[in-house]
Amino acid sequence: MSPARSSPIILICRIIGHRRSKSRAYFVPELGLWRSFCRRCGTPLLRDANGRWHTHEWEVSSARGS
């Protein structure tokens, strides 16, 4: 279960960054991209073509390098 949006954990993640969970990462063949979640707050993360991780709100088309 994700913490509430006003939770101190969310603020920590926004200040120092998310902690990606290796055990919850999975490949999405339709997108050709990896997805994972933050270990602290549960925010969905998406890996771009250069290997950098971004929050879920980040554009999928940008991740593919289109």
pLDDT the model gives residue 27: 92
Handedness of CA 18, 35, 25, 41 (dihedral sign): positive
The candidate with the shortest Cα–Cα distance to 33, out of 6, 9, 56, is 56
Q: Is residue 25 part of a domain?
A: yes
When divided into structural domains, the chain yields a total of 1
Q: Is residue 47 part of a domain?
A: yes
Render pLDDT for 24-65 as a digit per residue (tens, 0 to 9): 889 989 888 899 998 888 888 988 888 888 886 655 555 555
Q: Is residue 54 part of a domain?
A: yes
Q: Is residue 23 part of a domain?
A: yes
Per this entry, what is the length of the chain? 66
Tell me the pTM: 0.65
Q: Is residue 2 part of a domain?
A: no
Q: Is residue 52 part of a domain?
A: yes
Q: Is residue 53 part of a domain?
A: yes
- Structural domain including 13 reads 8-64
Query: H or E element: which one contains 9?
Result: helix 8-16
Confidence of residue 12 (pLDDT cuts 50, 70, 90): confident
Average pLDDT over residues 8-26: 82
pLDDT the model gives residue 49: 82
